[in-house]
Amino acid sequence: MFTVLNHLDLSYLHEVLVIGLFEKNKQLDGLAGEMNELLDGQLMTLLKEGDISAKKKAVTKVHTLGKINIKRLYFVGLGKEEDLTFEVLREAFGKLFKTVKEAKLTKIAVALDTFTNGKIDYNEAAHALAEALPLATYQFAGYKQKANEPEKQIEKVIVYTQGAQEEVQASLTVGYVYGEATNSARTLVNMPGNMLTAADLADYAVEMAKKYDFEYEVLEKEDMEKLGMGAFLAVNQGSAEPPKMIVLKYQGKETWENVIGLVGKGVTFDTGGYSLKPRESMVDMKTDMAGAAAVLGAMEIIGELRPEQNVVAVIPATDNMISGHALKPDDVITSMSGKTIEVKNTDAEGRLILADAITYAKHHGANYIVDVATLTGGVIVALGNHTTGAMTNNEQLFEQLLEASAETGEFIWRLPITEKDKERVRSSKIADLNNSPGREGHAIMGGAFLSEFAEDTPWVHLDIAGTSVTSSAHDLGPAGATGVMVRTLAAFVERFE
């Protein structure tokens, strides 16, 4: 996919050469200046007349009409040099790759050094480039009958740079792995519930485990009954599909200690149960397993890059359906931890399956836990569709996750859990906990409930209900699943201390 070279050889015929362009008082310097001289000053004329733009994320195509050994130049606007950030650069590359794909080009060359400034070096630019390629060009294959002619894809990217070739190549590899794993998660989330049952999700995880030599375990219903996973099993009661508790273990250290637990909500379709969702709210509930997809995507990156960390991934997988056996409001159930739960809302099912999953992660030796879930509509009311809600019981763990999210551009915002919030989830008169003590602070109630099962284990909860899907296309992908938190979890694991 990527070839790194230190010298741009103009004796070689290029279909496309891509050059980054900063706003510099209508001047062309560096490689752009060299191209301008070779083209008898015509690029400068185009720049002055506004036919070439250096504005942020603008992409301009220029035909050279056979005057040099490059058929077309693509200029990518980067705005003011001092304002360039990793996120802006990645989005600019995304815009470029969307444009290149629409032009049905399969091979391009990129002058990487023209995309660097004092804050972004060769390696960061390479990572942004490689990550943007799969993200921006992703499409869910779907189930339509296909035409015979396959769609052209970008197959080769030549990267010219004065940076160290091995380091740049390594950064390209890491970036591409991050992008591809995010796409894997997107595909899982985009799949309909009848095509991705709990058993299908377990099969996917097992194949991943075999590919990357992870230890794995898939608990069946009988196993869960023996372990007393009453909260998880209660959600599955109304389903014809058997539940699966999926465990993947990656050991990157000599001993199984300082273990990071990644827990992902895997509700493959959510009707709400007897607390039935309205018709409009039930559409797209196939995406209620986006937390599980994020964890699996992160495990794909971990499997590819092999960090020196110990990680256990735990995914409770089931749908939430209605039948004569289904969980009812007012039922009291007993979790694996022994804590009893009064169920006031069967549509607050994610916290029930996560309760047993968090307990089981600790059973497997998790010393730190991050859970990811499309848990509440309340987080969308609070933070909108671009920011993930977070809650924690440990400042140090949260700060590390916050740094990872800032690095990947997947923003999170912390919501509080106070003693008053804890009292509300303990407000049942007949059980230890109430799974839904009211609409006020609904997102916080979900986190406060889960904190009862994390107990003293350092823990962060990520509510991705608003960020797991998008209704419109963007520079780094189409409408649909976003694969949010795949890269943040992987970056967090890789740099965890």
Does one domain contain both 218 and 339?
yes
Q: CA 63 to CA 302: how far, in whole Å?
A: 42
- The mean pLDDT value for 419-439 works out to 97
Give a yes or no: residue 365 inside a domain: yes
Among 136, 156, 181, the domain-final residue is: 181
Does one domain contain both 229 and 125?
no
CATH number, domain of 316, equals 3.40.630.10
Does one domain contain both 110 and 229?
no
Q: Give yes or no for a contact between 489 and 370, defined as CB atoms under 8 angstroms apart.
A: yes
pLDDT at 25: 62
pLDDT at 9: 83
Q: What angle in degrees, to the nearest 10, is found between the helix axes of 486-495 and 165-190?
A: 140
Does one domain contain both 284 and 310?
yes
Asked if residue 297 has pLDDT above 90, the reply is yes
Tell me, what amino acid is at 364? H
Annotated catalytic residue: which of 244, 339, 351, 362? Answer: 351
Does one domain contain both 72 and 147?
yes
Give a yes or no: residue 187 inside a domain: no
Does one domain contain both 222 and 145?
no
Residue 145 pLDDT grade (very low, low, confident, very high; cuts 50, 70, 90): confident
- The mean pLDDT value for 311-332 works out to 98
Annotated catalytic residue: which of 72, 221, 277, 414? Answer: 277
| CA 29 to chain centroid | 38
Q: CA 440 to CA 226: how far, in whole Å?
A: 36
Domains in the chain: how many in total? 2
Does one domain contain both 169 and 275?
no
Residue 277 among the catalytic residues: yes
Residue 8 pLDDT grade (very low, low, confident, very high; cuts 50, 70, 90): confident
- The mean pLDDT value for 4-31 works out to 87
Give a yes or no: residue 186 inside a domain: no
Give a yes or no: residue 377 inside a domain: yes
Among 156, 181, 206, the domain-final residue is: 181
Give a yes or no: residue 189 inside a domain: no
Give a yes or no: residue 144 inside a domain: yes
Residue 439 among the catalytic residues: no
Among 130, 147, 181, the domain-final residue is: 181
pLDDT at 118: 85
Does one domain contain both 467 and 430?
yes
Asked if residue 469 has pLDDT above 90, the reply is yes
Q: What are phi and psi for residue 452, nearest 5 degrees? A: -65, -20
Residue 27 pLDDT grade (very low, low, confident, very high; cuts 50, 70, 90): confident
Asked if residue 236 has pLDDT above 80, the reply is yes
Give a yes or no: residue 135 inside a domain: yes
CATH number, domain of 6, equals 3.40.220.10
Range of the domain at 174: 2-181
Could you tell me which residues are annotated as the binding site for Mn(2+)?
265, 270, 288, 347, 349
Provide the whole-model pTM. Answer: 0.97
Annotate 207-264 with three-state secondary structure: HHHHHHCCEEEEECHHHHHHHCCHHHHHHHCCCCCCCEEEEEEEECCCCCCCEEEEEE
Does one domain contain both 239 and 353?
yes
Does one domain contain both 445 and 470?
yes
Give a yes or no: residue 188 inside a domain: no
Asked if residue 219 has pLDDT above 70, the reply is yes
Q: What is the mean pLDDT of the chain?
A: 96
The percent of residues in the chain predicted with pLDDT above 90, rounded, is: 94
Does one domain contain both 176 and 262?
no
Q: What are phi and psi for residue 270, nearest 5 degrees? A: -125, 105
Does one domain contain both 208 and 168?
no
